[in-house]
Structure 1
C-alpha cells in the first residue's frame, strides 16, 4: 500500500503543471460588472422655521453628501444663515446629523430631511410674502454624474430668498414719492416747453409783421 502511494506521488510530481506547459499563468476570470446605478430619487427638504423655504430634490442621492445639501440650503438663502443643523427626521437629538458630514444622503434611507438655523431670521425679511409663497414647494433637479465625479453646486442658480432694501411700507412710500417727483418734473418740463413755444411764436409773429410792413412800404 505504501509503495503504491509513493509511486503515485512520484508520478504526480513528474506531470507538468499548467505553468510549465505554457510558460504563462492562467488568465484570471474577468471581474463581475459593477452594480447598476440607482435611479434618481426625490428628497423632500423641510425648513423647521419657515415653510416658505421648503423644497424638493430629484437626484441620485447616493452621489450627494450631507455637506452638499448644506451648501444647497445655504445657497437658497440669499443672506447668510448661522448654526445650520440638519435632521434625518423630525428634529430631535436622535435624528441630528453631523455638520459637514461626507456621508451620502442616500445612505440615510429617508425621504425627508429637516433643517433649522439660529437665529431663525425671516428669509424674506422686508418682503411682503403672500400665501402663495408659503404654499410653494419648488422642485430642484440636480445634475447626475456618470463618471461618479463630485457634484458641483451652482449657488447662483439656487437663490430663493433675499432681504429687500426696504420694508414694504417704506418701499411703497418711496415709490409714491418717486412717482410724484417724476410727475412734477414732467409737468415742469412741459410748462417750460409751453412757455418757450409761446415766446418763440410771439417772436416769429413780430418778425412776420415787420417783414410785412417792410414789403408794404417798398411797394408804395
Structure 2
C-alpha cells in the first residue's frame, strides 16, 4: 500500500525540503558542557563533614589563570552525555562516574568568545577512589572546600505575589588558594507562576558565570542531602 506523501505550502515533500534546506540560514551558537563534581570529606579542623568541588585552572584565554568547572565544547558527532564524559576525562582524568543534567545556561553574553549555550552536569563522588590529574587545556585541578552563606535578603509584596531578592557569598579554599564570589538571586512569584534569575555580582578567581551555576547546584544538593552535616552556611 502506497502512502500519500504530505507536502508543505511550497509544494515540497519532506525529502525535497531536506534536500534543499540551507543550514547556513541561521547563525549557530556553540554548545558546551560543564561538570560539577562534588565530594564530601571528613576534616580534622572542622566538626562534621565538608562539601568540596573539583575545579580546574584555565591554561588559555579567556580567563587564563582563573578557576572553572571542568568542561568544553560539544563535538558535532557526539551527544551531550558523551561530551561531558569525554571532557571530564580529558581535563581531570576522571571517568566512569554517574552524572545527571542540572540545568542549561543560555545568557547571551555569558562567554566573551561567542554565543555559547552550556548544559551543566552534577555528580557526587568518592574522592578517595579518584586519581585527579590535570591535562588538555587545564593547568591544574584541585578540590576546593565550599562555603555558601546567605547574608542579605529582601522580600517585597506585589499585587499578585512577591519578589524575593537574596545575596549569597561563596567561598572556595584549599591549601594554597582562596576564591570568592557574590551571587544575587531574584525570585518572582505571581499566582502559581514562579521565575528565578541569577546574576554574578562579584567574582574573585572564578571564570565565566560559573559562580551562579555552583550556587544553583548547592541549592539542589540541599534538597538531596542532610545539610546539617555540611559546612555550607
Normalised to the residue count of structure 2, the TM-score between the two structures is 0.28
Higher percent of residues as helix: 1
Q: Decide which structure has the larger Cα Rg and report it.
A: 1
* Highest RCO, 1 vs 2 (Cα 8 Å, sep ≥ 6): 1
Higher percent of residues as strand: 2
Normalised to the residue count of structure 1, the TM-score between the two structures is 0.29
